[in-house]
Amino acid sequence: MVYEDITQQREQEDDLSGETEPREVDGYGIFKSFSGEHTGYFQGLGAGPRPPKSTAHIQAQLDAQQREVEQARKELDEVLAILKEVQSQMQNERQLRKKMQTQFLAHMEHQRAMQEQLQVSISFQIQEAMQTTLSLSRSFSVCMICLTNEKDLAFGCGHMICRECGSRLSNCPLCRKQITCRLRLFPQ
């Protein structure tokens, strides 16, 4: 915006005076160079020849750029070191995760094997209990005198034996009470 205003002002002045050469601008101080000297009208804007820079000034700029490059290298080295550390941590985490997965799968396999073994054991115990129950029920249904026939006769006292053994007795073989009545049973 300022450049356009100044350009328009310069064009108006050129039209009036007919001058085409650059000249110094008095009182504005807009086009001062970094050294503090007045430059030509467009020289401050980067047009036209520039005054030669000294070797010390160029060396100072070179040193500043080298410091910037060195600082950038240091920052890059720090970033690369952090990146290596992060990659190392990620690798360690992957290895730990893989180890934990392996342990978990081994644990699950062990649990599955134990569960199968427990199911087999429970099944075996159930079969044993059923056989014991069956043999007990048979022992309860077998006459305790002859141990061959099924109990099918009950006395008045409530005890039971087979009809064959019960027909020969006058007293109950268990409680020794006299048999007053006999009741025939029909087990299934």
Q: Is the pLDDT of residue 126 over 70?
A: yes
Q: Give 43-72 pLDDT, tens digit per residue.
A: 455 555 555 668 999 999 999 999 999 999
Q: Give 105-125 pLDDT, tens digit per residue.
A: 999 999 999 999 999 999 999
Q: Write out the two tokens for 39.
A: 């430059």
Helix, strand, coil percentages (3-state) for the chain, rounded to 5, are 60, 5, 35
What pTM, to 2 d.p., does this model score?
0.37
| Residue 163 CB-density burial (10 A; 0-12 exposed, 13-18 middle, 19+ buried) | middle
Rounded mean pLDDT of 20-47?
46
* Structural domains in the chain, sorted by start: 1-51 (no CATH), 142-188 (3.30.40.10)
Write down the pLDDT at residue 49: 54
Write down the pLDDT at residue 35: 41
Rounded mean pLDDT of 22-36?
44
Q: Where are the beta strands (DSSP E) in the chain?
A: 153-155, 160-161, 182-184
